[in-house]
Amino acid sequence: MSDDNDILYRFLLERAQLRGVLVRLTSSWQQVRSRADYPPVVADLLAKALTASALFTGNIKFEGSLSIQLKPAGALTLLFAECGHDGRVRGLARWQADLPQDFRLGASDSPLLAITIENAASGQRYQGIVPVDDDDLAVLFAGYFERSEQLPTRVLLACDGERCAGLMVQQLPATGAGADPDAWNRIGHLLATATSDELLNLDAERLLLRLFHEETVRVLATQPLQFGCRCSRERVAGVLRTLGREEALAGLQDDGRAEVTCEFCNTRYHFDAIDIERIFRDPAGTPTSAAEH
């Protein structure tokens, strides 16, 4: 465990029969944050949602992506974070000009929390939706697993602006006479002693040892994390196709090209009239003009 920047750790608490995931994000979060001038309250929510999206992929075996979305939440009109099985993360948020500095999720009108898993191999898509009934994202996520997955879960999230971190512990099914009936409560008390400073700055090995030194911690795997977008010319062409031929052609500018910019990575895709006609003439075809960053 040498590098604690942008990495995911999967671990097992053998004595307690619990599984856990620890995530640290630094440069990947900074790249997401640099895409817009986020107000502090929005940046904090986005950082924690991004961290959570990586946490939740830690215990899922699939090829695809897991995304977290809050919608709508008053002046915070969109919050989206995603992590893929390959460790690539991305996220964005949109807000209105009248967003208060003391914005609280729970004060908004009927916002919803959606967690979506897209399996690239099977093409299946699973989505769970729960109401936002707390201002604390960590509490919301724990409640989501309780309601949607019937899986007891505890989540810790922290962000200091430059980096963010998260720790999640989930209960495993009891395995016979050796099950520890006090384990869940005991681990809950241990987690309650963790500070935001420790989550962000204490190296992973020392943090896990400090919290669970009597629980026999076994690291199962590590995975590097990095900023990465899943946009492509094919996907943008698909969006234009859903708009319809007339609206797509109406987007052509004076230079004869329509420009579509990815909000996640700022890549710009250009389509001329021939490209657009080809999209609707041959839906399986892919326009070949280059993208620009």
CATH number of 7-227: 3.55.30.10
For the segment 250-290, what is each residue's pLDDT rounded down to a tens digit?
888 888 888 888 888 878 888 988 898 888 887 665 555 54
User: Residue 3 has what pLDDT?
Assistant: 55
Core vs surface per residue 155-180: b (16+ CB within 10 A) or e: bbbbbeeebbbbbbbbbeeeeeeeee
Q: Could you tell me where the beta strands, DSSP code E, fall in 162-267?
A: 164-171, 217-224, 226-227, 257-261
User: Residue 178 has what pLDDT?
Assistant: 56
Dist. CA 233–CA 237, nearest whole Å: 6
CA-based nearest residue to 135, from 204, 217, 44: 44
Question: How many CB atoms within 10 Å of residue 54?
Answer: 29
Dist. CA 213–CA 11, nearest whole Å: 13
Dist. CA 198–CA 202, nearest whole Å: 5
User: Residue 260 has what pLDDT?
Assistant: 85
User: Residue 1 has what pLDDT?
Assistant: 38
User: Residue 2 has what pLDDT?
Assistant: 39
Give the chain's residues under pLDDT 70: 1-3, 107-108, 173-179, 283-293
List where CATH 3.90.1280.10 sits in the chain.
Answer: 233-292
List where CATH 3.55.30.10 sits in the chain.
Answer: 7-227
User: Residue 291 has what pLDDT?
Assistant: 56
For the segment 219-233, what is each residue's pLDDT rounded down to a tens digit?
999 999 999 988 888
The highest-level CATH class for domain 233-292 is alpha beta
